[in-house]
Structures are given as C-alpha cells and as structure tokens.
Structure 1
Amino acid sequence: MTDTPTILFEDGEALVIDKPAGLPVERPRRGGPSLESHQEALKLGFQRAPVPVHRLDTDTSGCLLLARNPKALVRFSRAFEERLVAKRYLGILAGVPQQSEGTIELSLTKQSSAERGWRMIAARKGKPAITHWRMLGEIDGHALIEFRPETGRTHQIRIHALAGLGLPLLGDPVYGSGQSDRAKGAPRTMLHAAALEVPRQGKLSISAIAPLPADFASLGFDDG
C-alpha cells in the first residue's frame, strides 16, 4: 500500500490531502489499494472516516477535499454544485497550442461502445462545461498549461485539452492514443490539482496548495 497521503489542510470539518498519482479515490472492482485503504490513518482521532467531496481521476495528483461529518459533506457538495469552489490545475500538453490563453466552452456527454468501453466526448446536447486556461511555459515541444475549470464534469480538462486546444494531455492513455505519439511520452496522464479554495459562511475559506509532483519537475517544468 502507498504511504498515507500528505495533509495540506485540516480543521474540525475538512481535510484537504495531496492525492498521489495512481491512487484511486474509489476502490477498483479488481481490488487493490485506494483512498479507502487510508481511512483509519485519515481519521486523525475522529470516530468517522473523512469522505471525499469530489473526485480526481486515478492518474491525477493533487488537492482532494474530504468532509469529516455529514453536514459538512452537504455544504461542501453544494459549494461545488454552485460553482463557488476555485480550482487550479496544471497539465502538460503533448504539443504547444497556437494561442497563449483563452476559455473553452464545450458541452460533454458520455459515449459507450463494446469495443472501446466508455469515454467522454464533446457534444452539443451534453452538459455545459467551461474551462479557462493559459500557457505558463514550453519545453521540448510540450506546454505547461494552467487550467481553471468553472464546472466539474467527468474528464473535463482532458477533453477540453483535446477538443478545445487540439492537443491531448501528455501520457493520457484514453484521449491521447492515436492523437499523437508524444501523448505516450509520460508514465501517467500529466494532470495535477494544484490548488483548491472553498468559501465558507462565518469561517475562513478552506485553502490548499499541492506542490508540483516530481514527474512534472523531471520534464523541466516548475509552477510558473
């Protein structure tokens, strides 16, 4: 089992952890380690184990908010639904976009097939999705991008990178395959949830920053 995730923020109703890449939030059907494997260690003296408020893909590292009681879970979930949560992601593209910044508005829907399983696609009749982005740097034909999603659709940044910018995230095994040989040039999908801020009535906001992972730094990038 991997080491217990690093705690970035802690108070009586919330934890924010730095989820390692490769650790699933939900227990896989095939078994194996998941966030649930660390429940006891993350209780930190509380009787209840903290519960994830949102999801990060298994490959995605960085800030994950956990609620320490049911009432907090309801409040935090509502903050996500009402788009009150500020989220900052860093991603490395398998290429360099033509522009340096912009906003992507592409609705998303799920598509399933027996041959390819399920994936998300851009579709007019899908659920609205909005992502703001800007390029922070370029090294060896790869671009470091800051993504600030307004919505939180499944695979939103991965699809918006591919369909909106015309370039997949480096290492993406689903949306990178067949799009570019360079998409296979990393051991995982290069996406990191770098910062999270959740407003609270009558209390200071929950605020956390997850340091840049070693695999980003190994490609020569810093946090811009």
Structure 2
Amino acid sequence: MNKDVRQFVVAADDDGIRLDRWFKRHLADINFNLVSRWARTGQIRVDGARATPGDRLTVGQTIRVPPDEPVKATVAAKPKSTRPPLSDEQTEYMREMVIHQDAQAIVINKPPGLATQGGTGTMEHVDGMLDALQFECENRPKLVHRLDKDTSGALLLARTSRAAAYFSKHFSGRTAKKVYWALVVGVPEIEDGIIDLPLAKQPGTGGEKMHVDQKEGQAARTRYRVIDHAASRTAWVELQPFTGRTHQLRVHMAAIGHPIVGDGKYGLQEAFLTGGISRKMHLHARRLRIDHPDGGKIDILADLPTHFAESMDTLGFELAEGDRIAMDDGPPPMSREMLKSKARAHAKGVRKERRGERRGRGEAKKK
C-alpha cells in the first residue's frame, strides 16, 4: 500500500451523510471534480469497495483516500475574515438565554429586538454570538430555524452536524410543533380556525414585506385559537404555523382584520393600543416540541418577555389557561378547501357503491 494513502473512520456525527459532503466537511481543500475523478478510477474506497460521491456513509466505515495531488503555485488567497472575539458581557448575555442544553441541542429564549442573523445595519445578532454557546463542544452550535427580530421565544440550536441535519429535516417536514402566543387587535369572530392564504414578497419593498397573493404566492397555512379576550378590545391567541413563510403569522392575522399588537409594519397605526399596553411586538414562540436525534423529545416552554407579561397582567389574562390548551394533538379544523376535498371523496365513494349495486342487480336479472 502506498504510504501516502490516508484512511479515515466515519464518526457518529457523520452517520448518513453523502461521501461528497464528507469531503467538503473534513477535506475542504479537495474539490468535487477531484473526488469524482478518484471515484471513477476506483481510488476512493469505503470498507474496501469502490464508492461514488453520492454514496451514504455509515458510522464505523473506513474511507480510503489517495494521496493528495500537488497544486500549482497560485497567488495566495486572502485569509477568511474571522469573527471578533466576544466580550464577557456578550458571552454572559447569550448564556443567560439558555433554557435547555444537552449533547445535541441548545434552546434559547431569544429576547425581542435581537436579530437571529445579520443584515444591513445589523451588527449584533444571535448567529454572530454563538461562540458563547460552544461550551465543551469542538464547534459552535448551528441555527436550524429563525425568529423575526421583534419576535421573542424558543429558538433551537444544533450542537453537532448530525443534529443540524436531523432537526432541519423535521422542520422542513413540518413534524416539529411550534406554538406562538400573540395579542391581537379585536376578537376574531371564529374562535378556532385555519387561515389558508398564499404569501409572496410585496413588490417595491425590496423583499422586506410580504403580502397575500392568490396568484403568485406560496401556500401558507396557520391555525389560530382564541384563548381569552378583554371585551372586544384585544384577544390572546395561540398560533401554530403549518408552513414556514416569512412573517407568516403577522401577515395572516393582519389579513383577517386582527393584526398583532405592536406590529406597525402590517397593522399600521391600528396595531397600537392605549391604556399602558407596550408598543413592542406581542408575538412570542411559547413552546417548541421536536423529536430528539438520540430518541425521545425536546419539549420546552419559553417565558414571556417583560413587556408581554406586563400587558397580560394589565388585561387580566392567566398564563395557566394558555398552557392548558397548548399543543393539543387533536386534528385542527378543516379549511374550506379541505372540506370540499373531503366532500368530493365522499361523493365519489357513494357513486362507486351505487355502480356496484346496479351491476349486482344486472347480474341477478341475467340469472
């Protein structure tokens, strides 16, 4: 065997990933074209067998990698920019947000006003301070979903690449359950319903604002339930998004005439209440439940931020009432389209039964 041949054992964190993704993760200096050529010529082997870039790896397998090829001298590339070190205050700030921690996941209670990721003019954000939550792990945790800057509550972070892939799959497959609490202007006439309105970026806003677009929009569905209300002034609602469109909950509630309190972007001036109610956004990711990659579930509650809690107290709402009905596993009410589909399926079944009866009578007459 060539002494320069390298061998690697697939770690648990890489279980299930593609071979080409393994190279990108661990031998990033080897490009895809070279990996493909090595695979075609049989120089890459997994447990002694020829492999292709798309093969899935299993923990414990041995990957044979040929000697790296010499690279022609080129102008040295500029080193990648590094993140500035965090201050003690930033580290403490992030660690105080942690409400759950295990070997695969961290859940933080994100405060309102802190962006999840950076953007134009956004210097401080969760993604930029994740080094504070590395703890004993080799790598910093990874974001697997987002919350709007002014939305507070439970935000899940993956501590390993395996967990990141696992959680991302559950979020994209809509098996993760997220429950939001919101205060909305007025009281919805239907107390438990589905909002089924497609959303698209609003032209002329640079993608900063969404709107309902029946022709070009992407499907978006939200379940809402009224938990309590203060006369006709405002309602405390539970929201469960079944899709993950940008600003979905905010646009949907505004679209049915009940914007979220404090959401001037979609509710305009109507979204602000008097009587000591904060002008901040009253939208909070109260509860998150998702399967855990090591078995079992993560099921976590995030406390309300101060301004939201004070508004609840001012309006006389009892928090225990909201948690009592949260995460109800019963089937949600059907949208109009779902009801129509069910009715069509029932009618089709009846027609099929009748055809069978007619055939039966016809055969009986022949006898």
Partner Cα separation in structure 1 for residue 142 and residue 264 of structure 2:
28
State the Cα deviation string for residues 9-42 of structure 1 (Å, max 9, x = none): 2111111110011110112321432113432221
Please list every run of 5 or more consecutive structure 2 residues that lacks an aligned counterpart in the other structure: 1-88, 323-367
**Which portions of structure 1, spanning 4 or more consecutive aligned residues, are displaced by more than 6 angstroms?**
none
- For residue 109 of structure 1, what is the aligned residue in structure 2? 200
**Contact 2:259/2:271, CA 8 A, preserved across alignment:** no
Matched, 1:160 2:252: yes
**Contact 1:170/1:182, CA 8 A, preserved across alignment:** yes
- For residue 264 of structure 2, what is the aligned residue in structure 1? 173
- For residue 122 of structure 1, what is the aligned residue in structure 2? 212
Q: Using a 3 Å threshold, how does the CA distance of structure 1 residues 168 and 18 change in structure 2: closer, same or farther? A: same
**Contact 1:212/1:222, CA 8 A, preserved across alignment:** no
In angstroms, what is the RMSD of aligned CA positions? 2.1
- For residue 212 of structure 1, what is the aligned residue in structure 2? 304
- For residue 237 of structure 2, what is the aligned residue in structure 1? 145
**Contact 2:201/2:207, CA 8 A, preserved across alignment:** no
- For residue 7 of structure 1, what is the aligned residue in structure 2? 98
**Percent same amino acid at aligned positions?**
35
**Contact 1:63/1:193, CA 8 A, preserved across alignment:** yes
- For residue 286 of structure 2, what is the aligned residue in structure 1? 194
Structure 2 residue matching 1:175: 3-state secondary structure = helix
Matched, 1:44 2:135: yes
**Contact 1:169/1:183, CA 8 A, preserved across alignment:** no
Name the one with the larger strand percent: 1
Partner Cα separation in structure 2 for residue 59 and residue 203 of structure 1:
33
Partner Cα separation in structure 2 for residue 48 and residue 201 of structure 1:
18
**Contact 1:9/1:207, CA 8 A, preserved across alignment:** no
1:51: how far off?
A: 1.2
1:183: how far off?
A: 5.9
Partner Cα separation in structure 1 for residue 271 and residue 208 of structure 2:
22
Q: Using a 3 Å threshold, how does the CA distance of structure 1 residues 49 and 222 change in structure 2: closer, same or farther? A: farther
**Contact 1:134/1:146, CA 8 A, preserved across alignment:** yes
State the Cα deviation string for residues 107-148 of structure 1 (Å, max 9, x = none): 11111316x863111112311111111111113611110001
Give the TM-score taking structure 2 as reference length. Answer: 0.56
Q: Using a 3 Å threshold, how does the CA distance of structure 1 residues 181 and 74 change in structure 2: closer, same or farther? A: closer
Aligned length in residues: 221
Structure with higher Rg: it is 2
State the Cα deviation string for residues 145-170 of structure 1 (Å, max 9, x = none): 0001111111110011011x311101
1:44: how far off?
A: 1.7
- For residue 56 of structure 1, what is the aligned residue in structure 2? 147
Partner Cα separation in structure 2 for residue 51 and residue 29 of structure 1:
21
Give the TM-score taking structure 1 as reference length. Answer: 0.90
| Bigger relative CO (Cα 8 Å, ≥ 6 apart) | 1
Following superposition of structure 1 onto structure 2, how do residues 61-140 of structure 1 map, counting pairs within 5 Å?
61-113=152-204, 118-124=208-214, 125-139=216-230
Letter in 2 for 1:121: H
Structure 2 residue matching 1:8: 3-state secondary structure = strand
1:81: how far off?
A: 0.8
Structure 2 residue matching 1:77: 3-state secondary structure = helix
**Contact 2:272/2:279, CA 8 A, preserved across alignment:** no
Structure 2 residue matching 1:174: 3-state secondary structure = helix
**Contact 1:53/1:65, CA 8 A, preserved across alignment:** yes
Structure 2 residue matching 1:198: 3-state secondary structure = strand
Q: Return 51-60 or 197-206, whichever deviates more.
A: 197-206
**Contact 1:216/1:222, CA 8 A, preserved across alignment:** no
- For residue 126 of structure 2, what is the aligned residue in structure 1? 35
- For residue 79 of structure 2, what is the aligned residue in structure 1? none
